[in-house]
Structure 1
Amino acid sequence: MTPAGPEDVPVEFVSALRSLRQVSVRPEVILDEVPGPARIAPFSAALTAEVRTARRSVAAAELASGRFVVLFDPAGQEAWEGNFRLVTLVRATLEAEVGADPLLAEVAWSWFTDSLRESGLDPHAAGGTVTRVLSQSFGALDRRAEQTELEIRASWTATDENLAPHLIAWSTLLCTAAGLEPLPDGVVALGPRR
């Protein structure tokens, strides 16, 4: 969060942060709080995430990672068309044949829009990019398999301070990029024990 005294933090921003704390994510998703960017908005907060095959295990493989940033400007910003802007990043390594698909960018962007829609959100002023990097090794590294790294960057404006559905949507996007099967209807991911 941007440095400020407790009396300087707007009630709307505090409420937004509290709404994020109420979210339970799948056990494969590990969230950590990190400092938000200081120069983009008067108030900010950020989370990083890793999707792993097993929770908090050193031997667990990382399937995807990302960052979820909350920006808040009480005066609003014209480009945002609102006061709360959410900026996200998702990175995942894909199998080479999946990475070679010419429709990968469109499919990855549909993961973003579908995750928002499934959380009951209509993305306001949404935009973003999908980038893929194909890596092929040579020489002493030629035994490494080809791999594709996918990066989805997206931002959109929240219309109110309840950011819980937005974090849920981003978590769904992370899990989709990681290749995890969706949870069946009616099944709720259990959060960590307290």
Structure 2
Amino acid sequence: MIDAAERLLRKGKADFSMRDLAAEASVSFATPFNQFGSKTAIMHALSRRRIDKMTKHFTEAPPLPHAADRVLFAIGVATAVMLEEPEVNRAVMGWIGSAGPSPGDVLTHSTALWSLAVGAGEGLALTEPEQALRCLPRQLAFAFRGVLSFWTAGELPDAELTPNAREIAKALLRGYSERS
């Protein structure tokens, strides 16, 4: 079902109906509803697929010793995944901002990726380490999603996605660091 949704998005059919999805997947009209309940839920599943891909690429790379380097590397991985299929990913991002019949879990999934990147905060001069390690991954998820929202809306060109995502991550890292 998810593969069929991606095929429709690749064909430029971001406004596909559940009937279109069922036809693309060669299943009955009721199957998408039975499996997902709504188009929004399908788009949330597509978003999770992207975050899983980001996480896979991040964890397969040689580990970096410092948290800041890992966060910036994760930014590069995440933006590369989004830029692989910009039109498909813009469509997914546009939908996950929509309210559905039940809340999604994209924030939780995204926070998990940033938690991997932050790790134990190695190399960061944190003013309040416990609070920083608890809050920073979620704030990175919010910040990355914010940059993606401007990219999705066409206000941020593809070439500016990675540099802007890196800058917001650096600002967040500085915000939790000791002041000199």
Greater share of residues in strand: 1
Which of the five TM-score ranges fits, normalised by the shorter chain? 0.3 to 0.5
Q: What is the TM-score of this pair, normalised by structure 1?
A: 0.31
Q: What is the TM-score of this pair, normalised by structure 2?
A: 0.33
Greater share of residues in helix: 2
